[in-house]
A and B are shown apart, each in its own frame.
Chain A
Amino acid sequence: MTVGRDQQALEQQIKENLRRVFRDKAEEKVPDRFLDLLAQLRQLDEVKDGQ
């Protein structure tokens, strides 16, 4: 049936859109603030380990 096929096509589009939106965001360049934060956390650990 056309309606069933349309619904299936729409559901498929929804699945693809969901994956695409998520993938696009996940593949964005990570802002420096996070890399800086990880570097700071690592530094703090090294200071603690040195004590």
Chain B
Amino acid sequence: MANDALRLDPRDELVTHLGPMRAFALSLTRNGAQADDLVQETLVKAWKNLDKFTPGTNMQAWLFTILRNSFYSSRRKSAREVADPDGIAAAGLSEKPAHDGVLALGDFMVAFRQLPVEQREALSLIGASGFSYDEAAEMCGVAVGTIKSRVNRGRSRLVELLSADGEDFVSITDLVTEAVVNTTARGGGFAG
């Protein structure tokens, strides 16, 4: 078939998915260096298992599945190695500052980073990468309803967090306005 002749060698196709893999890895790890280590691990595993990839199917979905499995596997391993009964280490991780080049959307990222990993993953797959609910469910090994629920809860939580930010901003602005108005009323304004 003509399509077969035109189809990329899977090894050549790998490189075209590196960017999305790095973005997905970052959404899971929340840390640029860890994300790139995860992508590297995924690449090696994918290369060794390329014979298991079915040409013509979605390579990005296949790579994302390997990536998330590697992430959760090393997370389980770390949990066994690092006893953290009080959640102190985990709290430190969630407060980690951004070093990943997406500071332009600081508020959004701060809120996104606070979501549980399952919700970040579901939002990244559905909202950002454009996978269908069915595809995401298959990649995550859960029911479609579970993915839908994670997406909905993630979005609702983001709305809550970002709305709260907005309210804080409004109340601060109001205080500033009030101070300026009071100062002006006392004759301390800019008008001469």
Instruction: Give the B-binding residues of A (Cβ under 8 A).
Output: 7, 10-11, 13-15, 17-28, 30-31, 33-35, 37-38, 41-42, 45
Contact = CB atoms under 8 A, between A and B. Distances in A.
A28 B124 CA distance: 17
B159 A14 contact: yes
Interface of B: 11, 14-15, 18-20, 22-24, 26-27, 36, 39-40, 43-44, 47, 100-102, 104-105, 108-109, 112, 123-124, 127-129, 155, 158-159, 162-163, 166
A18 B163 contact: no
Contacts of B39: 34
A-B pairs, top 6 by smallest CB distance, nearest first, are: A22-B128, A26-B19, A25-B23, A17-B108, A26-B23, A18-B127
Contacts of B102: 21, 24-25
Given A38-B15, A41-B47, A14 B162 contact: yes
A42 B158 CA distance: 43
A26 B22 contact: yes
A10 B23 contact: no
A23 to B, nearest CB: 8
A15 to B, nearest CB: 6
Nearest to A25: B23
Contact of B19 (A14, A19, A28, A45): A28
Nearest to A7: B159
A37 B163 contact: no
B128 A19 contact: yes
B109 A22 contact: no
B63 to A, nearest CB: 12
A21 B18 CA distance: 16
A18 B126 CA distance: 10
A10 B47 contact: no
B128 A31 contact: no
Contacts of A25: 19, 22-23, 26, 100-102
B172 to A, nearest CB: 19
Given A14-B108, A18-B112, A37 B43 contact: yes
